[in-house]
Amino acid sequence: MGTWRRLLLLGRVSLQGGCGAAVPHLGRRALSCGRQLLGAEGEALKQRRTQIMSRGLPKQKPIEGVREVIVVASGKGGVGKSTTAVNLALALAANDSSKTVGLLDVDVYGPSIPKMMNLKGNPELSPNNLMRPLLNYGIACMSMGFLVEETAPLVWRGLMVMSAIEKLLRQVDWGQLDYLVVDMPPGTGDVQLSVSQNIPISGAVIVSTPQDIALMDARKGAEMFRKVHVPVLGLVQNMSVFQCPKCRHKTHIFGADGARKLAQTLDLDVLGDVPLHLSIREASDTGQPVVFAHPESEEARAYLHIASEVVRRLQPPPE
């Protein structure tokens, strides 16, 4: 017999008459004792769970040579996360030519960095048997896409994926980087947790369209990073508006200012708005990201602004 059913029978609580039913004195005492008992059990379970998790979490270890790690994530696929990651990396380098930038693609099942950065081939090995990133547009890049055939699907279970992530994090010779931009897979699963728990992350950038469905998952992504103590730098509202190239009329295809409303709810900032523009898609498909191919365009300026906002939030507050 369940705890609450025993308490109800003991106290002879009447289920007729709704919330206004009288509870005998004995029943009230029993209910109070029951709540205290369940509360104590719940607190004990919570403490036990915390102890187990603290034992099981790996110690964070920095990536050698990398000063700042910025993860670009989304709760849902298809919102332009990888496009944002690529152009953010290029924009960070364009805003300050003295900075060295790397791009790590940990989307094991759907790596897109090789195509977007127009890179092919296998990484060379250093004398220390570490993989050397491939280089284009001044950005050092590493992806699972360099290690498998382009058309080969990865039919891997979780342990194999985790092993691959460990290699991408620990067996790459990045040299000296000021910023490493990490293109995360969509969702809030094993890969996100593994990356967050293994390396110190300077901040996370959450990408979403203004659409309600995408925002629901973006919120989950932001909350996940908060739970694993990763600072969320802000949101990028992607595909925010479409402007007709002929009549210049603007249409909010996915809704207006949805990410801004979510940012207010989460007490975050919107780092910038990226329009829905044909040139962004064409540039990505041809392996010439828009920040490189059309640096003076409105679309490129949006990414350059986002990069400057990211850097500003990474700087320590003045004393």
Q: Write out pLDDT tens, residues 173-225.
A: 999 999 999 999 887 778 888 888 889 999 999 998 887 788 888 888 888 99
User: Does the pLDDT value for residue 99 go beyond 70?
Assistant: yes
Instruction: Categorize the per-residue pLDDT at 287 as very low, low, confident or very high, splitting at 50, 70 and 90.
Output: very high
pLDDT at 318: 64
CA distances from residue 146 to 27, 120, 226 in whole angstroms, order as listed? 68, 7, 32
What is the chain's length?
319
Domains and CATH numbers, the chain: 67-313 (3.40.50.300)
User: Does the pLDDT value for residue 16 go beyond 50?
Assistant: no
Q: Write out pLDDT tens, residues 151-164.
A: 777 777 778 888 88
Percent of the chain's residues with pLDDT above 70 = 77
Closest CA to 301 of 276, 272, 281: 272
- Choice between 35 and 159, residue whose per-residue pLDDT is larger: 159
The model scores a pTM over 0.85: no
Q: Write out pLDDT tens, residues 229-286.
A: 999 999 998 887 677 676 776 776 676 777 677 878 888 888 998 988 888 888 889 9
Handedness of CA 147, 151, 152, 157 (dihedral sign): positive
CA distances from residue 155 to 109, 144, 147, 161 in whole angstroms, order as listed? 8, 13, 14, 10
pLDDT at 84: 95
Residues 199, 63 contacting (CB under 8 angstroms)? yes
Strands (E), the chain: 66-73, 101-105, 134-136, 139-143, 177-183, 203-208, 232-238, 242-243, 250-251, 270-274
User: Does the pLDDT value for residue 29 go beyond 80?
Assistant: no
Which residues, 6 or more positions from 22, have their beta carbon under 8 angstroms from its beta carbon?
14
Q: N- to C-terminal Cα distance for the chain?
A: 61
Q: What is the mean pLDDT of the chain?
A: 81
Instruction: Categorize the per-residue pLDDT at 20 as very low, low, confident or very high, splitting at 50, 70 and 90.
Output: very low
User: Does the pLDDT value for residue 18 go beyond 50?
Assistant: no
